[in-house]
Chains A and B, each alone.
Chain A
Amino acid sequence: MNNRLPTGLYQPGDSAIHRLDALAKILCLILLLAAVVNTTTIPGYLVLTAFTALLIRLSGVSLASALGSAARLRWFFLIILLMNLCFYKPEQAWVSWWIFRPSAEGLMQGIHVVARVFLLLVMSNVLTITTAPLAMTGAMERMLSPLRFVGVPTDLVAMILSVAIQFIPTLLEETDSIRKAQTARGARFDSPRLLEKARAVLPLVVPIFLAAFKRADELSLAMEARGYRTDVKRARKKYPPLRRRDCFALLLCTALAAAFIVVR
């Protein structure tokens, strides 16, 4: 019954954002996040929202998929906003009614939280939608590689990460087929009653775990059969250097982050 793609799933494309190097994109995201958490004013959020809109536009991704999980959290956002509004600074409340003490500071604080989480979600969504999972793990490997000199097994970490990420679609697919099999024999996942919903989790979770363990087992055997060893040095993959457009994106994001930190 579920015909929705998971949010943030990679969508192949050839936009300006798609073509950026994955490492540059991750670093840009970190810089943008720095800008987001250093924003304290509403115009600041507006600038960042406009920038995010520009990113979505450039990436050619549909607004619906870019907003993805953020849109699904709208009730959460609303509740956070209301709670902040009513309980944040009761001393300076506009009115006082029962336990509710809404204040201007509360409203501002609510906007902070909601805007930050929203921007964070959408920006990281754009990253994962425009970056192939393998490029992402490659970039993480490059980011971690300096730790090699202090004895961290970065090859292993990168391998673990890439295996984990590659298995997400497989496990999602498996979850879907298990859900269908159990639905067909009478499990009620879509029941409005909470107790039934909770009870329906077990027939889903047990098989998924079993399947995941089985897959892990098979994969480790397959890797060993093809000569994967952890005790020998592996050939290192060569990554192309950052290009001009990557440097430009990095500079732009650095400037933005710096501006927000200074203005603060």
Chain B
Amino acid sequence: MPIELRGVSYTYAPGTVYESRALDGLSLRVRDGEFVGVMGRTGCGKSTLIQLIAGLLKPSAGQILLDGEDINDKHYDRDTLRRKIGVVFQFPEIQLFETTVARDVAFGLRHFGWTVEEKNAAVREALERLGFDYEAVCDKSPLGFSGGEKRRLAIAGVLAARPEILILDEPVAGLDPLGRDAFLQLLDELNRAGTTILMISHSADALAEHAQRIVILKDGQLLRDGPTEEVFSDHAALKADGIGAGQVRETVELLRQRGVDIPADTVRYEQLLSAVCGRWPR
């Protein structure tokens, strides 16, 4: 399911005083099974980008191809699109509405033509993946849970459809450290199992740790695109673009300034630890 954007532009409220250009001739290709981190300052067009890919907005110009097919073509089947792409929006907990957890998680499966057993299995799997005990929660109201739990329930509702492409907009903001790590690990697992992941985040640490490729947007255009190590190795450029490099890269930079020989493409915590331990053995 490669995703391909060809010269995509998007303008909000064209022809009014509120007109603003969110994307400007963006071209991008995401291969199957990639884990892509999308970064950029507020207002750079990240959220517009994922809404376009998810088919929630129509580009003002350009094409978006999924598997070689234009998703905005009149004859393109929107239901396939919804099935293949799962979107976790910012603060997804607002989308909960059903009377029970099981019903809410199963909401996205209604039009799939699955049998009751298949649906139940998918719901159970999704809930267990997010750390819930299916029997304990399935008949409770989703609205009675805590904020972090609601977030996980909403994400279960997206994962239950077993999307081939998972798009996430700042999914870990506001989660506690444990929930955050568990969630990022889950993304890794899904990615290893073949799910393409596109994740927007301001957290350079999370992306450095999990994404294979980093895309940085600025003013609706592609500023940088490359393997995570490559993009994060250029510390000065990240600073100049107003994007944080993350704690690991920051530490590496300080060590390098003090003459310690650590490669500039050290971006993961494990890499940093082994470099430091190698430099100063016990």
Contacts and interface: CB of A to CB of B under 8 A. Distances in A.
Tell me whether A and B are bound partners: yes
Interface of A: 1, 3, 5, 11-13, 62, 65, 174, 177-178, 180-188, 202-203, 206-207, 210-211
B82 A184 contact: yes
B243 interface: no
A207 B97 contact: yes
B27 interface: no
The prevalent SS among residues of B at the interface is mixed
Contact of B56 (A11, A183, A206): A183
Interface stretch (B88-96, B201-209, B252-260): B88-96
Contacts of A206: 97
Contacts of B89: 177, 180-181, 184
Nearest to A203: B97
Interface stretch (B15-23, B37-45, B127-135, B225-233): B15-23
A63 to B, nearest CB: 12
Which of A11, A12, A182, A185 lies at the interface centre, i.e. has the most chain B CB atoms within 10 A of its CB? Answer: A185
9 nearest A-B pairs in the assembled complex, by CB-CB distance? A206-B97, A185-B108, A184-B87, A181-B95, A186-B108, A180-B56, A181-B89, A11-B17, A203-B97
B224 to A, nearest CB: 27
A21 B153 CA distance: 51
A184 B79 CA distance: 10
Nearest to B112: A186
Interface string B80-121: 001101110110101111000000000111110000000000
B161 interface: yes
Contacts of A185: 82, 86-87, 95, 107-108, 157-158, 161
Interface string B57-99: 1100000000000000000000100110111011010111100
Contacts of B54: 180, 184
B269 interface: no
Contact of A186 (B82, B92, B143): B82
Contacts of B15: 62
A147 B109 CA distance: 56
Contacts, number: 78
B58 A181 contact: no
Contacts of B158: 184-185
Contacts of B14: 3
B83 to A, nearest CB: 8
A3 B157 CA distance: 27
Nearest to A180: B56
A182 B110 contact: no
Contacts of A203: 95, 97, 107
A207 B13 contact: no
A177 B94 contact: yes
B160 to A, nearest CB: 9
Contact of A207 (B51, B94, B108): B94
A170 to B, nearest CB: 13
B12 interface: yes
Contacts of A11: 16-18
Contacts of A1: 56-58
Contacts of A187: 107
Given A180-B51, A185-B108, A210-B143, 9 more contacts: A62-B16, A174-B94, A181-B95, A183-B56, A184-B82, A184-B86, A186-B83, A203-B107, A207-B94
Contacts of A3: 12-14, 57-58
Given A177-B89, A185-B158, A207 B95 contact: yes
Given A5-B16, A62-B15, A182 B57 contact: no
Contacts of B85: 184
B17 A13 contact: yes
A156 B58 CA distance: 44
Contacts of A181: 87, 89, 92, 94-95
